[in-house]
Amino acid sequence: MEESENSSNALPPFSGYSPTGKEKGDLVYVNYGRREDFKLLQSMNVNCSGKIVIARYGRVFRGDKVTNAQKCGAKAILIYNDPHDFAPVSDEDLFPHGWWLPRSGVQRGSILMGTGDPLTPRYPSKDGIYRKSSDEIKMPYIPAHPISAEDAEHFLSLLGGDKAPDDWQGGLQITYRLGPGFTGNYSDWKVEVETNNNHTQRNITNVIAILKGSLEPDRLVLLGNHRDAWVFGGIDPSSGTASLMEIARALGNKYKQGWRPRRSIVLCSWGGEEYGLLGSTEWVEDNVHLLYQRAVAYLNVDSPIRGNYSLYVRASPLLHQVLFNASKQVKNPIDIRQSVYDNWLDKFPAADGLNPKVPPLGSGSDYSPFCQRAGVPSADIRYVFDMYQFHNISAYPTYHSIHDTFYYVKKFVDPQFTTHLAIARIWVSTAFLLAETPVLPINCSDYAVALNKGFHDINTKYGKSLKQKGISLKYLEKAVKKFEDGAENMQSLIANVDLNDPWKLSFINDRLTGLEKNFLNSEGLPGRPLYWHSIFAPSLYNSYASATFPGLHDALVEAVNNGPHNGNWVVVKEELSDTIVAIEWAAQFLKSEV
């Protein structure tokens, strides 16, 4: 362990936004605390109501675990890092000897999904703006606290009740049981959880730097990364901050030599990301109409050096091609005989094998308010470890722990900082193409492919249930076809544009800049009024993941799960209509010649 890790100034483990409280009760093991885990416990007649539950990190956002526990009546929740997910190796390979989290390691983190300052929803959190009281907002209401695998083993090794299912068995050298309560000589013991969190208001600072464009200064290409960390933040976020600072230095040198980009480049250093995307969300809310009119794209990094296996990007379909082209210009840091693109295609191919796989965005970092609230085409760029080999790991092992340090990065992740350099080059190359290319390098046809896939996924999974309720998807299919026609029309205009005609260039670029904003519905999704995007949003049951046609998807999940007679199929019809209209608006926007 490094000397700094013993510092008295190091932040102790806690769960951000957990209420202060003290609860005592029998313990129940709930696996990952997913919705389906609680459902399985219910089917096995294991009652969580009035109990303390213990869940392992992974698979879903930690706040979703708390929400699911609340819904099942639990009084408090403990969350720990199971070795199966964060250290499936012998003790000799644990940090500081290896990459893996020691048994004493604890992951901190917020349990409130990032939608900005919860006291000022929809409005910027600044002087003169009305703030709700804590009683008026939807906050976690049961105590939540993170613990280590060492501490979790003391509890789990004593649990009674039935043996947990085979796929619930973790990496501790015990037989995992469900509870409730302890067994043998400890049968009358209870678990007490006490949290003492101080909910206070604090000021945070965003730092924004603008390199003004020469020909189209009103068009903004934004790059962003957050500065705040749970402890030392060697990877999260300092790997991204170092990359952003190097980009700033390089752009500054070019500016001194007399260069300006065609469009303006905006560098954003966010504060307060770890407490719910505070800095970025409040800035978006303060500048939302400016972004509607002027933003070209937002390119995010957070913890971009999670390994050196391959590039891995989540992005709006509009940005796929520019990301591919940028990655072709950068050498693979591990094998300079190939480009980053070649390695990316080899490691994460799409289903057709023609290009790398680029999943859509969910939530979890500062891109969320840009795409969800302002309709700005966004991307989250990172290098990752071999996720096929370590498929159980949802983040690098020391994520949000005291061991995420500079030493950890240099010793185990990127010793020569070549992957840092590759990320910075991909990031700035993508921005350069977006800022300099006369016709914006945005491809509408990739969005048509994503819409088509979304339609077929809904039809495959829910087509039978919809048919039984007399609900047809034919108009959704027609809307997708209209969008395909509009995309084809736009790509034809791009292919034949006269680059010397400023009016035609402006006509096309205005369409490309404004397209994604057609998908916004300011009423938001059912039960989630701060998520406005009708095509992509975080999954209702895993906020890190993405759902396509999220309003329709959420409504269908709820209607089907509540049974054929109890499900609210009116909401399904409403969300289907909203999705159809949003796609048709976008199709009209692309096809219109006026």
Q: Please report which confidence band the pLDDT of residue 227 belongs to, taking 50, 70 and 90 as the band edges.
A: very high
Q: Give dist(CA 288, CA 169) in Å, integer.
A: 47
Report the pLDDT averaged over residues 283-307.
97
H-type alpha helices, 187-295: 238-256, 278-286, 288-294
pLDDT at 338 over 80: yes
Q: Give dist(CA 57, CA 146) in Å, integer.
A: 9
Residue 3 is predicted with a pLDDT of 64
Amino acid at 131: R
In angstroms, the Cα distances linking 4 to 1, 10, 30, 399, 403 are 8, 8, 35, 17, 10
Q: Which residues are catalytic?
A: 273, 472, 510, 533
Amino acid at 393: I
pLDDT at 308 over 70: yes
Q: Please report which confidence band the pLDDT of residue 138 belongs to, taking 50, 70 and 90 as the band edges.
A: confident
User: Taking phi first (over 0 means left), then psi (-120 to 50 degrees means alpha), and beta for anything else, what does residue 17 get?
Assistant: left
Q: Please report which confidence band the pLDDT of residue 392 belongs to, taking 50, 70 and 90 as the band edges.
A: confident
Residue 9 is predicted with a pLDDT of 82
Q: What are phi and psi for residue 32, nearest 5 degrees?
A: -90, 0
Q: Give dist(CA 142, CA 149) in Å, integer.
A: 22
Total residue length of the chain = 594
Residue 135 is predicted with a pLDDT of 80
Mean per-residue pLDDT over the chain, rounded: 95
Quick one: tokens of 246?
């190097």
Bigger pLDDT: 324 or 3? 324
Q: Give the range among 110-114, 328-332, 540-544 with minimum mean pLDDT.
A: 540-544
Q: Give dist(CA 102, CA 95) in Å, integer.
A: 6
Q: Could you read off the pLDDT of 421-470 as tens digits, one per residue?
A: 999 999 999 999 999 999 999 999 999 999 999 999 999 999 999 999 99
Q: Could you read off the pLDDT of 505-564 as tens digits, one per residue?
A: 999 999 999 999 999 999 999 889 999 999 999 988 888 889 999 999 999 998 988 766
pLDDT at 105 over 80: yes
Q: Which residue has the tokens 């960390």?
A: 229
Residue 545 is predicted with a pLDDT of 85
Q: Please report which confidence band the pLDDT of residue 591 belongs to, taking 50, 70 and 90 as the band edges.
A: confident
Q: How many CB atoms within 10 Å of residue 510? A: 14
Model confidence, pTM: 0.96
